[in-house]
Structure 1
Amino acid sequence: MKNLTLFAALFSLFSSSSAQITCPIPYDSNFDGLISVSDLLDLQSVFGLVDVDQDGIDDAVDLCLDLAACNFLSNPTEVCKYLDAIGICGGSCISDSDLDGICDDVDTCDGVLDVCGVCNGIGPLPSTIESITILYDSVYAAQINDWVVFESGADTVYLECYPAVFTTCGDDLGYEGHNYSTVQIGSQCWFSENCRYLPSVSPTTTFSVTSPVFNVYNYMGSDVAEAMSTVNYNTYGVLYNYEAVMSPGVCPTGWHVSTNLDWEALAYFLGGVYVAGEKLKSTTGWYSNFYATNSTGFTALPGGWNFVGSYEIGLFGAWWSISDQLPEDQYRHFRRLFYISPVVQYGNEHKLTSKTARSARCILN
């Protein structure tokens, strides 16, 4: 209070007498010929009170002094935050190389999708038509006492899209109308996104131990095309119960749904199950992005599972790991990544009660 009284007195004194002063004003720190708030803020330093960024808050309690911070004025009791690569204040996105507003670690296309949905593709390919049938019709015109013939229809030239051609790990692979991204991790080549194979779709209230069930997060209908148009399908893919994930067609020829041995080899290469999860998890999408570096490019997203209608999106991701034992053993195996843990967790269900739907990843044979 004493400091404020002193400042007020000084301000009043110098303001009232500034017109008569011909000598330099002793407290005019910016030499503009006037005593202003800026000068008084500088004067505070004499008493140990400093406001470097001049936001009216003493530096002793101001946790953000950087004018470039995106929260510079919004919350002075909060440490400085900065815009990430996609413009989120305090966000975790490091890069967005194609400037499409999607962080690179979850962006399935670093570039532009063509009309066929191919990343940086060359667009549609005109189909070859073996024959063209033109339909004609006629009408009698009494005014000219003759028949008038006109074209009533013809074949249409259709466009056929190029599927992505896979030649080496890291290339996209076209399958079932979608181009999957792939990633090399050690000696293994994995899909770096969840499987999307969807021959049918059931409401998320449908469960079965003996019949295939295909779910899409939060979709309650049975229209495949409609389900495939949802954001959740295009983000998390499909959730399969055990009978569904064992259906032929989930993975393309030459690939298979990941097994226990596949996951064990993956974790071993990454330093063991207690640390491997951090290197597999996407850096965004989790409730908390701790223990998530995605240094492998595996891009594991927290798509949850469908267990009696519980998805738990954001908490964890769960993927089938098929048994390597032949014939199949009594349990259904899976791997799980949790949002606050770097561990690759193992779990199983007895085959007589297993009806949970989970994500799937394909791996090259």
Structure 2
Amino acid sequence: MKKIFVALSMVAFLAACDDSSSASAGQNDEPAVESSFSSSGKVTEPAEVTSSSSSVDSVSSSSLQGDKNFSSSSVASSSNSAGNVITYGTMADSRDGQIYKTVTIGTQTWMAENLNYAYTDVPCNYIGYTSDSTSWCYDNDPANCTKYGRLYTWAAAMDSVGTWSNNGKGCGYGSTCSPTLPVRGICPEGWHLPTKSEFETLFTAVGGQSIASIMLRSTSSWKNHGNGTDDFGFSALPTGYLSNGGYFSSSGYYAYFWSTTEDDDVKAYNVYLYYYNESAFLSSRYKDFALSVRCLRD
């Protein structure tokens, strides 16, 4: 793991990163979700707060995320090994012109890549740590934004300052909210941040939560022979995360995706996929962690 220069402290609004913020520094890491490495170099599975209610279950010409070949101007269909017809396509984010691959799985159309939008309207300048955006490239390496997309706090993912819509306004660390669904959040126009139940619908469409991880993981980039079958073209990459203590962790071993569903004032639900487990998991994680975002078409 690599520690960035200072601990990050995020509150309900994206502007919390500004010098004028009264947020307190030095919020502790969440020990229960911090990965650890054994002497053999393998990552050990962290303890998660899992949901008991889930029973079922880029850049221009964005070709570096995922494993499928997509045309930037066409829609194509193919059948997976189970005979399910999968429809692939692309979409453009009008804010910065980036092109993303898309895939239709069951009744849902997903971005088949992680969002890589840098929200530079609210740059981070907090106790000497500066960033062009309230989102991060893994290890602060721009090449990882190209490969994996950006990592966002829950407040950033929900667009808590209401830049594009008011549906997630005020949702962030230290407060509870009742967002109006769907929440566009930081997603492009016509797309939204998925709810916990919409992720459960995805699990059902790929054969159930018990096999969803292996079905949704990409066929490359996962460590220790952890590649998936990517039968449905979702192409989840092992992006890892940024903790609230400023640590980048678990690249190569984990994929995490925010949902709009809140657990309490400091935690929200996310999906995580782990390299050695066929199951997908819904967990409750601190809102000031930075995770990946996958957008779902309205």
CA shift, 1:107, in A, is 4.5
Q: Report what 1:237 is aligned to.
A: 149
Confirm or deny that 1:364 pairs with 2:284: no
Q: Report what 1:295 is aligned to.
A: 231
Q: How many residues align?
A: 193
* Contact 1:166 1:174 survives alignment (8 Å): no
Structure with greater contact order relative to length (CA < 8 Å, sep ≥ 6): 2
Confirm or deny that 1:218 pairs with 2:139: yes
Q: Secondary structure at the match of 1:348?
A: strand
Confirm or deny that 1:339 pairs with 2:260: no
Q: Secondary structure at the match of 1:342?
A: coil
Mark the CA change 1:269 to 1:292 in structure 2 (over 3 Å): closer, same or farther.
same
Mark the CA change 1:264 to 1:341 in structure 2 (over 3 Å): closer, same or farther.
same
Runs of 4+ in 1 over 3 A off after TM superposition: 107-111, 164-169, 201-207, 328-331
Please point out which of 94, 100, 108 is paired with 1:188: 108
What is the aligned-residue RMSD (CA, Å)?
A: 3.2
Q: Secondary structure at the match of 1:181?
A: strand
* Contact 2:70 2:89 survives alignment (8 Å): no
CA shift, 1:329, in A, is 5.0
Q: Report what 1:106 is aligned to.
A: 66
CA shift, 1:318, in A, is 0.4
CA shift, 1:288, in A, is 2.5
Gaps of 5+ in 1: 1-101, 112-118, 120-163, 220-226
Q: Report what 1:311 is aligned to.
A: 249
CA distance in 1, matches of 2:293, 2:233: 16
Q: Secondary structure at the match of 2:103?
A: strand
* Contact 2:258 2:292 survives alignment (8 Å): yes
1:13-48, CA deviations, whole angstroms, 9 ceiling, x for partnerless residues? xxxxxxxxxxxxxxxxxxxxxxxxxxxxxxxxxxxx
CA distance in 2, matches of 1:290, 1:204: 37
CA distance in 1, matches of 2:125, 2:68: 27
Report the structure number with the largest CA radius of gyration.
Answer: 1
Q: Report what 1:278 is aligned to.
A: 214
Question: Which amino acid is 2:147 matched to?
Answer: T
* Contact 1:204 1:218 survives alignment (8 Å): no
* Contact 1:165 1:174 survives alignment (8 Å): no
How high is the sequence identity, in percent, across the aligned residues?
Answer: 27
* Contact 1:206 1:213 survives alignment (8 Å): no
CA distance in 2, matches of 1:334, 1:185: 19
CA shift, 1:213, in A, is 2.9
CA distance in 2, matches of 1:302, 1:203: 28
Q: Quick check: which one's strand share is greater?
A: 2
Q: Secondary structure at the match of 2:234?
A: coil
1:141-186, CA deviations, whole angstroms, 9 ceiling, x for partnerless residues? xxxxxxxxxxxxxxxxxxxxxxx69999622111121111100111
CA shift, 1:285, in A, is 0.5
* Contact 2:103 2:112 survives alignment (8 Å): yes
Q: Secondary structure at the match of 2:88?
A: coil
TM-score (norm 2): 0.57
Please give the residue correspondences for 1:8-47 in structure 2 after superposition, counting only pairs within 5 Å: none
